[in-house]
């Protein structure tokens, strides 16, 4: 069984701007507006020195890109991953702006991260890195200006360290400075499952739109972390058969469907899928080409590209990860009649419930998990209906239908607020 993550050489920012240009043509936006929409407001870069357990000192590059705050404070995840660079973070910040706009959140888009493989760090080293990165960004993060949240390889634990570091530097407790925190220090119930739940809710709306049902639906999910595992569990509970899953150690395929509850228990005990016996070993790349009804790339960006888009057999692709389908691959899939539900809609659950957490924190409110889940479904379904209307009335793909809605709202806001000075 091959290991490792499928990677390609992709200029993520260039691809994001190509999508924006295509949307701009549909909206009739002039070049000056496209230049504003395609350029981030601010870029921050750090080099954090960390004393390692062996006494040596290593430098770790860190980033925070604030794309656009015309609709409200910046928000966006922080990821710890070896592939983090300025190009990728900038493109993800732009996608965050479109996502917040699409689902109607009063937020602007940002993204941050550190270039590191956190699995190679001890717990103490990881805490030192998280706190130093936060200290370097202490004048960037702010409950009213820029609110970070979890992303790849960051969890409630890291969010707690960020809150504590920022609060200590400012001399008062500020639960609103970060979302995705543990419930005990101001987090919200439902946040840990929100992104995966949002993927399933978005797919539910799509199936209804297409006249399909969950029963017997064959699903393959690339990525079995906090997003993929929740997506798999909730899909299985609805009657779908999850026939394949994968993580960075490889994948598993079982035509009759995998036992997701057992798989989740195994990964809790062993961290990764490697070594699980109840399935045929496959690679992460092979998972993408399986015959199934729904393919959910929920790992990293750029997994479906011009070189492999023709191999995709699933008639429906749900973008669980950020930008897993490149601009060129999107055109190939559309030409082949494959429906792609874009990331700015499909994985918006985390952003939506992060907003709920921020509201609860700033107003000292407390919601039940049922209330959080019901509000999440309401916001997502409303956004889906707006996108579906664009699909049916304007003849657009789901991606362009979502982009027209999202980018159009930001462009309108920029025009209404004008230019200062």
Query: Across the strands, what pairs with 350?
Result: none
Rounded CA separation 163/183 (Å): 13
- Residues 190, 196: Cα–Cα separation, whole Å: 11
Cα separation, 153 vs 118, whole angstroms: 7
Whether residue 215 lies in the annotated active site:
no
Q: Distance (Å, rounded) from C-alpha 60 to C-alpha 400?
A: 37
Cis geometry, peptide bond prior to residue 41 (ω within 30 degrees of 0): no
- Positive or negative torsion for Cα 270, 274, 276, 279: positive
Instruction: List the 42-51 sheet strands across, edge first.
Output: 42-51, 57-68, 108-115, 74-81, 146-150
Question: Do residues 218 and 241 touch, judged by C-beta distance below 8 A?
Answer: yes
Spot the catalytic one: 15, 111, 226, 241. Answer: 111
DSSP strands (E only) in 275-407: 280-282, 294-297, 316-318, 339-341
Of 158, 205, 213, nearest to 185 by C-alpha is 158
Catalytic residue set: 111
């Amino acid at each position: 069984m091959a290991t490792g993550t499928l990677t390609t050489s992709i200029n993520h920012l260039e691809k994001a701007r190509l999508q924006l240009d295509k949307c701009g043509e549909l909206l009739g936006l002039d070049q000056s507006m496209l230049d504003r929409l395609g350029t981030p407001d601010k870029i921050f870069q750090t080099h954090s020195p960390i004393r390692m357990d062996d006494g040596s000192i290593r430098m770790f590059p860190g980033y925070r890109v604030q794309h656009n705050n015309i609709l409200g404070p910046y928000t966006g995840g922080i990821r710890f991953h070896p592939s983090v660079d300025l190009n990728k973070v900038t493109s993800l910040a732009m996608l965050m702006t479109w996502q917040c706009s699409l689902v109607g959140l009063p937020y602007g888009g940002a993204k941050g991260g550190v270039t590191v493989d956190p699995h190679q760090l001890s717990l103490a080293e990881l805490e030192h890195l998280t706190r130093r990165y936060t200290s370097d960004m202490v004048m960037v993060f702010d409950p009213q200006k820029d609110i970070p949240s979890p992303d790849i390889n960051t969890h409630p634990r890291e969010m707690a360290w960020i809150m504590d570091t920022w609060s200590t530097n400012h001399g008062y407790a500020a639960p609103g400075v970060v979302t995705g925190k543990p419930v005990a220090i101001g987090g919200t119930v439902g946040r840990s499952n929100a992104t995966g739940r949002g993927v399933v809710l978005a797919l539910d709306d799509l199936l209804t739109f297409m006249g399909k049902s969950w029963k017997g639906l064959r699903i393959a999910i690339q990525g079995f972390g906090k997003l993929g595992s929740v997506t798999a569990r909730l899909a299985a509970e609805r009657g779908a058969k999850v026939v394949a899953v994968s993580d960075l150690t490889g994948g598993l395929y079982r035509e009759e469907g995998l036992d997701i509850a057992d798989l989740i228990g195994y990964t809790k005990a062993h961290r990764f899928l490697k070594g699980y016996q109840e399935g045929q070993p496959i690679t992460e790349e092979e998972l993408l080409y399986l015959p199934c009804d729904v393919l959910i790339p929920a790992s990293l960006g750029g997994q479906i590209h011009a070189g492999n888009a023709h191999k995709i057999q699933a008639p429906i692709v749900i973008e669980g990860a950020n930008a897993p389908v490149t601009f060129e691959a999107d055109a190939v899939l559309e030409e082949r009649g494959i429906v792609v539900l874009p990331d700015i809609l499909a994985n918006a659950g985390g952003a939506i419930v992060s907003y709920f957490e921020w509201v609860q924190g700033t107003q000292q409110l407390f919601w039940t998990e049922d209330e959080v889940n019901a509000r999440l479904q309401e916001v997502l379904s409303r956004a889906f209906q707006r996108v579906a209307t664009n699909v049916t009335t304007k003849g657009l793909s789901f991606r362009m239908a979502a982009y027209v809605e999202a980018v159009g709202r930001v462009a309108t806001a920029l025009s209404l607020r004008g230019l200062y000075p």
